[in-house]
Structure 1
């Protein structure tokens, strides 16, 4: 069954999307906007409670890759090119789970979501004033990727540290991050036609200022 995009856009009219590169502040902005405007908060990978159960290798092979891992060392030692391919494929496979979940929860209340739905799909199911792109310099998205102490990154650090040559594995993993956050992908976001906010690497706390800017773009003020 195929649901036409105009139908999806109608049912997603209460949903606001934030996407972009790593370390751009997406998670922070989604949480701040949810708190400030009493919106439903959907953080990164919010859909995984359903997709981890429902996804099948025949239909969603890259989502199922992680679920079927027997040794996480295989995850962190993949080639940078395979890691890049996998990341963007997972985003596309997960998009249908995201859309279904967002339709389910947004009927009575607005929703703000940290999303990996591909840009081409966002253009079909949403509009300019419901999407914001947040970007960070590659140096931040790669070099500071592990600076945050969230459970997923701590787990990956432990896996890398348990490898025979952790320094080589970390270097290999960072090359994958560099591909994911390469100029090619940065430019895809920057030239998407969506409203864009670029994080400056100047050490200043601009969270409230950026929150104001995105809230104004979304028409939440």
Structure 2
């Protein structure tokens, strides 16, 4: 049995405990017992215990989102609607609001905030990549940064949404996507403004040198041209 299979079994066993005990040691210990996994093997696969399971849960949601994007016919949609649909698919991939709420609490802790930020960034990256984003300059970063904010805000709204079918959440999401599109239009107009490009010629030239990261394991957030 490979490491991923072990982690999947532990995660499946943990999910029934998370709403009551959170993503903590009690949940991890219960998952190990329920799944019948040797404790030493479980700890080797998940060195940080339930934290690793929480990240695996987030990854599973991302995988489900990508599957739905591929399965659904989004070709007739405007691109902004495809992005909104992807965010909705990602939120709908969650099994239980309480499980997500417990994860939000976990990754709000200072020692795990970096893990949470990387997970959200990873979700935004997978949305853009799956939808065919080809940017390889500073726009690669701005798209993912902005979408990370949209996704985070929408999840927090969804956690408190009691409307039928979470309709209020999807309306909130549409408003946030509209805000993003308005920002992109303003950014484009500024780029076309001669006075603006003249005044900020230096900073714009610097930004033009930024490139998207290479697709290699554990790469840095970005790199300058010529760096390996």
Q: TM-score, normalised by structure 2?
A: 0.28
> Counting helix residues as a fraction of each chain, which structure ranks higher?
2
> Counting strand residues as a fraction of each chain, which structure ranks higher?
1
Instruction: Mark the structure with the bigger radius of gyration.
Output: 2
